[in-house]
């Protein structure tokens, strides 16, 4: 297996890169000298990549990771005074929320490969993924309270729905830095692995997800996200469940089970 891009020597900084490998698409944040701090052009690129991936029927799973020793230092807000006075910065801040919400709503299953620390708004970016796999090198903190920033509502909702009220209050109100063990304990990490097994665990999960029924997964992911937000379209969810009972996926799934072979969706 070739050495993963995110573990190679840092290359020239650029907006996020897209790599395809069979049914997997990997999006790599690529500003390693600044811990992959996100710039406004990165947000535009991420939205383009999300649309490109969803339009490609060959892609079944998405991995989000970073180049170098950190996943991401968050969005580059600049000085608080400049941000407050600059309309363009305010628009960029709004775009960040759009990007994170778009990632959460991708029809494909998503894995965040946390190759290192995750800070600020990027904690929400990772939280928007369906799975987060990290190593002992991971740490996180949300500095909004130290910056005098009231975080956007959808991000706080995501923290509460994923991590619970008490953990959301702790992370937002104290701006406390926590390590990988604690990230696993509170449910921020889906899995914590040794650094030399990170790629193998990501590969294992990506392979498992890419082999499952894509339409069924897309529908169930949507239902789960809507339930987490307290905004379930119950009729639409019930319709998806009924439709699945007559679709090609269940026919193949049942046939494969009877023939004791992996399904081919």
Query: Nearest-CA neighbor of 88 among 44, 119, 118?
Result: 44
pTM given for the model: 0.90
Q: What is the mean pLDDT of each run of 10 residues along the chain (265 residues)?
A: 44 91 97 95 97 96 97 79 54 83 97 97 98 97 95 97 98 98 98 97 98 97 96 97 96 96 95
Directed axis angle between helix 165-174 and helix 153-163, to 10°? 130
Query: Nearest-CA neighbor of 214 among 127, 106, 81?
Result: 106
The predicted pLDDT at position 85 comes to: 59
What is the rounded CA–CA span in Å between residue 164 and residue 207?
30
Enumerate domains of the chain plus CATH numbers. Answer: 5-210 (3.90.226.10), 214-258 (no CATH)
The predicted pLDDT at position 77 comes to: 73
């Amino acid at each position: 297996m070739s050495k993963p891009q995110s573990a190679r020597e840092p290359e020239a900084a650029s907006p996020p890169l897209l790599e395809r490998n069979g049914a997997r698409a990997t999006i790599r944040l690529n500003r390693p000298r600044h811990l992959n701090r996100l710039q406004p052009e990165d947000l535009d690129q991420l939205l383009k990549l999300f649309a490109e991936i969803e339009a490609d029927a060959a892609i079944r799973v998405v991995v989000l990771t970073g180049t170098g020793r950190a996943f991401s230092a968050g969005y580059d807000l600049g000085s608080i005074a400049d941000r407050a006075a600059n309309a363009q910065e305010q628009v960029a801040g709004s775009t960040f929320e759009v990007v994170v919400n778009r990632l959460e709503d991708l029809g494909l299953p998503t894995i965040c490969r946390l190759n290192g620390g995750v800070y600020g708004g990027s904690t929400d970016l990772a939280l928007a993924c369906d799975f987060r796999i990290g190593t002992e090198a991971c740490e996180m903190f949300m500095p909004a309270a130290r910056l005098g920033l009231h975080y956007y509502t959808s991000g706080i909702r995501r923290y509460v729905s994923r991590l619970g009220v008490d953990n959301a209050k702790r992370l937002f109100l104290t701006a406390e830095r926590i390590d990988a063990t604690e990230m696993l304990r509170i449910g921020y990490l889906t899995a914590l692995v040794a650094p030399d097994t990170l790629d193998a665990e990501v590969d294992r999960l990506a392979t498992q997800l890419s082999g499952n029924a894509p339409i069924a997964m897309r529908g169930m992911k949507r239902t789960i996200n809507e339930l987490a937000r307290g905004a379930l379209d119950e009729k639409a969810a019930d319709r998806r469940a009924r439709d699945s009972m007559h679709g090609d996926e269940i026919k193949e799934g049942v046939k494969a089970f009877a023939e004791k072979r992996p399904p081919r969706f």
